[in-house]
Amino acid sequence: MTNDEIWERVGGKAFFVRLVDEFYAGVVGDAVLWPLYPDHQDLEGAKKRLALFLAHYWGGDPEYMELRGHPKLRMRHMNFVVGPLERDRWLVHMATAVEKSLADHESDVRTTLMEYFMRAAEHLRNDTGLPISSPRG
């Protein structure tokens, strides 16, 4: 299934706005993820950026690129420790958002979205979660 097909099947930008709203409803109460958002006052900005990115990625208009340029996702997330726990919590909230945002008959769309989100979450991981050991001397 192509990104353009996903865009058409979900109904365009409005779907991604709903998806992001559902996602952040979980993040706000998450003891692991919420502290990663240093400017809690800019939640609406974070929502807008994610919705625009996802809409662009999945075949929508280039508004994200016009506003922010190339996504550079790893670079934009390097200031935050993203280990296995953070990745997994992010995926829990995104999977919940996908479930709430799609109709039951959209299992192929759900699968395609979640495959992407799992790859993206792993790509953004920048910490193994293992303690750093000192070299032996």
pLDDT (tens digit, 9 = 90+) per residue, 75-133?
444 466 678 999 999 999 999 999 999 988 799 999 999 999 999 998 888 776 665 55
Q: What is the pTM of this model?
A: 0.81
Domains, the chain: 3-124 (1.10.490.10)
What burial class does residue 50 get, using C-beta atoms within 10 Å of its C-beta: 0-12 exposed, 13-18 middle, 19+ buried? middle
pLDDT of residue 25: 96
Between 21 and 70, the more confident residue is: 21
Mean pLDDT of the chain: 83
pLDDT of residue 88: 94
d(CA 7, CA 134): 49
Q: Summarize the confidence of residues 53-63 as an average pLDDT.
A: 87
Q: Summarize the confidence of residues 61-67 as an average pLDDT.
A: 68
Q: Summarize the confidence of residues 35-42 as an average pLDDT.
A: 78
pLDDT of residue 77: 46
Task: State both tokens at 75.
Answer: 């670079």
Report the share of the chain in percent with pLDDT over 70: 78
Which residue in the block uniquely carries the two structure tokens 């990663």?
36
